[in-house]
Structure 1
Amino acid sequence: MTALTSALEITKLAHEMHVDEAELAFLATTSPDDLRDLRGVVSHAMFSRHESRVKGLAAVSKKLPAAVTAKITEIAMGPMLSARVAAVMDPTDAAKLAGHLKPAFLADLSVHLDPSRVGAIIAKLDRSLLVDVGRRLLADGHVLTLARFTGVVGPETSLQVMDGASGAEILQVALFLDDTSVLDPILAGLPDETVSEIAAATADPGEAAEALLATLSEDSRARIASLA
């Protein structure tokens, strides 16, 4: 299971660095804990690199009407820079601005966000908007991004996002979670049909099945076993 966990951490690190996973293949024998620590260092370094610039942009945006800032954000700044600016904005101002941005743009922006920096903003957003953005991420195959936000938005919102998702899709999200404590309440809220699909996906022995089952409570494991 360590090999799989390391591979998942390399995928997350490649996403953080905006490089192909193959470029980080030399890290395959590194422990998952060390890779996780490295990802944190990289995330901090990349954010700090442009911190003064994005703080300046955030200060300017505060002086403009939210509707005007939203237009500038979508047309001139793009998703990556907008994500950097959002991370240093006042949460109330950022949430107000988000209400003027198109959900499709917010989904693109989310791919570049560090959830640990924007929890206060997410807490102020309407659940309907979070669900809309989450479903767009799922539809576009951004399971890693969705997994990173699952622990921030909480089980109830995550369940709405995953309504209609296949067991295989949910398993993918589960494998990339940083906060596995949300898995049990999410599983408890899923219908038997979807849990049966997850059970089928974990029926064959393998590292993916072991990684998922190891994070679940006895009740959750028993439910999966009963539906297998």
Structure 2
Amino acid sequence: MSRLANRAEVIKLARALAVEPEALQYLHGLPSDAVAQLRSAISDVIHDEQRAPLGLLAAVARWLPAWVSALCARSWFGAPMTARLASELPAWRVADVAGYLDAAFLADVAVDLDPRCAREVLQLMAAKKIMAISHVLLKRDDFVTLGRFVALLPDAALSEVAASIDDEGDLLQVLFFIEARYRIDHIVRLMPAERLQRAVLIVADESRRELWPSVLALMTHAGYGLKRELGDLAAEQGDAVLSAIIETVQQEDLWEDVLPVVVCLSPDVQRQVVNLPALQRADVLEKIIAATQYRQLWSAMLCLAEAMNDSGREALARVIEQTDETLLAQAAYAALLRSQWRTLLDIVRRLSSARQHDCHEVLAHYLPTLDRETAGYLQALLNEYGIEAAPESTPEPAQ
């Protein structure tokens, strides 16, 4: 689950329910898709309750001249009812009526319009009208509504809208609330490279700290290639920028979002990140381990540990020393899946004898299930790193 995606969906749901996001804090533990489905279900229930009268209005609106329908929408229906009525009409009819409505009113309609019925309408609307509506929403700082529709725009309109957003911070907030996250890579590729660089550098601007999670959301939701590109771009700015990102992730408790991003970085940048003093602090590693265990991210964690220097592995071992044996079991399973035994055992050898014995006991359950060659390899590694089974306890002599 992505905490950042969940945060965006909770804000959207709060907007739909006309409540403050703080009132929905109990939803922060849910997957973002579940919150999005809840929002869609609520919208469907409201729409179904009004389907009968809306059907009658839609039947009339189909035959009225477009300018008359626009006059009715503006003078009598209002924006919320017009938005619901639009879902009952053919897309071509909605686009015709929209041509007679001003951008401010259409921006009001967009707040309540269901994106699921808007794709074809946006394809039919004039680009100038789309730009005008976007400008109204930008002036209102209504990034939620822009984010719900921006992924549905044709590429030409999308490029124009992106170019019209002067502030990279505004662009980041629109992408934070984007409805179709799979389109993020495509949208970003339509932007000039220098804009992308300025967007990433916002994490080095202390005066814009409130936007830092939006930068991280962009990195989190991007595809593998773009993750690497953004990470490498951030690394080029020096350790100060990377340390600022680590500090933001730590404060916002976003390690479960960011760990998979670090794994996607190029090997040199990955080593640069995991060996920063800011990441090797005990409090940071404690949160990283907590996120790793909670979200079963041990394969990612072992990839990062592989790039750590000795001081980083020592710091990681000190944190693992304070955890229970279930963590070692999860780590061992991940090492088995990805053949990361050397990385895991190099950390285990730095633990106390008691914890090493715990690890040996966990691995003893795997040895009989492995083929002879793999079992021999694992046993040789245990011997190499000096990780032995607990000595047999000597029974007390009878009194």
State the TM-score, normalizing by the size of structure 2.
0.53
C-alpha displacement of 1:171? 0.8
Deviations 1:2-27 (A, max 9, x none): 33322211111112223322332222
Structure 1 distance, partners of 2:97, 2:119, is 15
Q: Which of 1 and 2 has higher RCO (CA within 8 Å, sep 6+)?
A: 1
C-alpha displacement of 1:221? 4.2
Q: Secondary structure at the match of 2:141?
A: coil
Deviations 1:36-95 (A, max 9, x none): 221221121121121111121111222322112211211111111110101111222111
Aligned amino acid, residue 121 of structure 2? I
Contact 1:167–1:198 (CA<8 Å) still a contact in 2? Answer: yes
Contact 2:123–2:154 (CA<8 Å) still a contact in 1? Answer: no
Aligned amino acid, residue 142 of structure 1? D
Aligned amino acid, residue 44 of structure 1? D
C-alpha displacement of 1:222? 5.3
Q: Which structure 2 residue ranges, 5 or more long, are not aligned?
A: 238-399
Structure 2 distance, partners of 1:72, 1:7, is 38
Contact 1:130–1:157 (CA<8 Å) still a contact in 2? Answer: yes
Q: Residue 47 of structure 2 aligns with which residue?
A: 47
Q: Residue 212 of structure 1 aligns with which residue?
A: 218
Moved more, 141-150 or 154-163: 154-163
Q: How many residues align?
A: 228
Moved more, 63-72 or 150-159: 150-159
Contact 1:132–1:161 (CA<8 Å) still a contact in 2? Answer: no
Structure 1 pair 19–155 and aligned structure 2 pair: CA distance change class (3 A):
farther
Structure 1 pair 2–221 and aligned structure 2 pair: CA distance change class (3 A):
closer
Structure 1 distance, partners of 2:9, 2:74, is 31
Structure 2 distance, partners of 1:139, 1:220, is 30
Contact 1:5–1:32 (CA<8 Å) still a contact in 2? Answer: yes
Q: Residue 98 of structure 1 aligns with which residue?
A: 98
Q: Residue 298 of structure 2 aligns with which residue?
A: none
Aligned amino acid, residue 173 of structure 1? V
1:180 aligns with 2:173: no
Moved more, 158-167 or 205-214: 205-214
Structure 1 pair 134–60 and aligned structure 2 pair: CA distance change class (3 A):
same
Structure 1 pair 31–217 and aligned structure 2 pair: CA distance change class (3 A):
closer
Structure 1 distance, partners of 2:143, 2:68, is 32
State the TM-score, normalizing by the size of structure 1.
0.89
- Superposition pairs for residues 58-137 of structure 1, below 5 Å? 58-137=58-137
Structure 1 distance, partners of 2:85, 2:33, is 29
Structure 1 pair 203–217 and aligned structure 2 pair: CA distance change class (3 A):
farther
Structure 1 distance, partners of 2:28, 2:220, is 22
Contact 2:131–2:157 (CA<8 Å) still a contact in 1? Answer: yes
Contact 1:103–1:133 (CA<8 Å) still a contact in 2? Answer: yes
Which of these two proteins has the greater Rg computed from alpha carbons? 2
Moved more, 213-222 or 99-108: 213-222
1:226 aligns with 2:233: yes
Contact 2:199–2:215 (CA<8 Å) still a contact in 1? Answer: no
Q: How many percent identity over aligned positions? A: 25
- Superposition pairs for residues 16-55 of structure 1, below 5 Å? 16-55=16-55
Contact 2:79–2:108 (CA<8 Å) still a contact in 1? Answer: yes
Deviations 1:175-221 (A, max 9, x none): 11121232223222223442222111245896543321122245534
Aligned amino acid, residue 218 of structure 2? L
Q: Which structure 1 residue ranges, 5 or more long, are not aligned?
A: none
